[in-house]
Amino acid sequence: MCKPSTIAIDGPAASGKSTIGYYLAQRLAYLYLDTGALYRAVTWAALQQGLPIMDEACITRLAEEVEIDVLPPAVEDGRQYTVTLAGVDITWAIRTPEVDRAVSPVSIYPGVREALTQQMRRIAAQGRVVMVGRDIGTVVLPHADLKIYVVASAEERAHRRLLDRTQQGCAPDFEQMLQEIRRRDEIDSGRAAAPLRPAADAVMFDTTSMTKEQMFDAVEQLVDSFACDSGG
C-alpha cells in the first residue's frame, strides 16, 4: 500500500507529538527527527567555541556554517536517532544542562531558524521521515504528505510534565507547571518567526483523554486511511 513518505507532526509542549512521532517512525521503519535536536546542536557548537549566545548575528552565522545530520541510531544506547556535527557524534552531548539553559534564545533567532529549516528540508528530501516540531507543517515541510497537529488541554499537559519531573526525582508544583505550559504556549504562538499554529490541511489530533495505546491505535488508523485515500 501507498504510505506517506514525509510526515510532519506539530503541536504545543507535552501534547504527545514526540511520543506519537517516534512510535510512527518505529512502526513504519522511518527516520525519526525531533527538530529540537538541530537547535541544540547549534547551541552546543556555540558553547564549545565560546561564542556569546545572546549575539544573534554571531549565532546565526554559526548556524549557516555548521553541517548537521540526523541519522538512524548508530549505537544501541537508548538513543532515538544519531546527531552528528561535521561528522562527529554529538547525540548525548546536546542533552546536557548547559545546552538546556542556552537553547531557548538560539531557537527564536529568525536567521538560525531559516538556516536550520534548509538543513531539515535536505534531510527530509530523502523521504521516509517523521519530523516533529512546532512549525513543520507550516514552514519546514509545507508539502509534507501527511500533517498532524497534536493538541491536549493545558491541564493535561501540565499533569504529564509533572509526572515526568517526578520520575526524574523533582517535586514541582502543579500550578507552577501549568503556568510554565501556558507561558510556553504564548511564546511559541506569539513569536514573529514561524509561530506555532496548525497548517490549513493538518489533521487535528486531540490526545487529552487518550492513553499511549489509544494514541498509537488512532495514529495508525490515520496513516492507514491515508493509504486508502491515496489509491494504494
* 110: CATH: 3.40.50.300
Domain count, the chain: 1
Q: Which residue range is the domain that position 78 belongs to?
A: 31-127
Q: How much is the average pLDDT of 185-211? A: 91
Assigned domain for 77 exists: yes
The answer to whether the beta carbons of residues 91 and 42 sit under 8 Å apart is no
Confidence of residue 229 (pLDDT cuts 50, 70, 90): low
Domain-located, residue 78: yes
At 159, the amino acid letter reads: H
18 belongs to a structural domain: no
pTM: 0.92
- pLDDT digit string, tens, across residues 159-168: 998 888 888 7
Rounded (10°) CA dihedral 140, 16, 214, 209: -120
Number of separate helices (H) and strands (E) present in the chain: 8, 8
Residue 217 resides in a domain: no
Position 157 in a domain = no
User: How do residues 131-187 score in pLDDT, each as one tens digit?
Assistant: 999 999 999 999 999 999 999 999 999 999 888 888 878 877 899 889 989 988 988
Judge whether 76 lies within some domain. Answer: yes
25 part of a folded domain? no
Q: State the residue for C-alpha cell 517512525.
A: 25
Query: Does residue 120 sit within a domain?
Result: yes
Read off φ and ψ for residue 102, nearest 5 degrees.
-105, -15
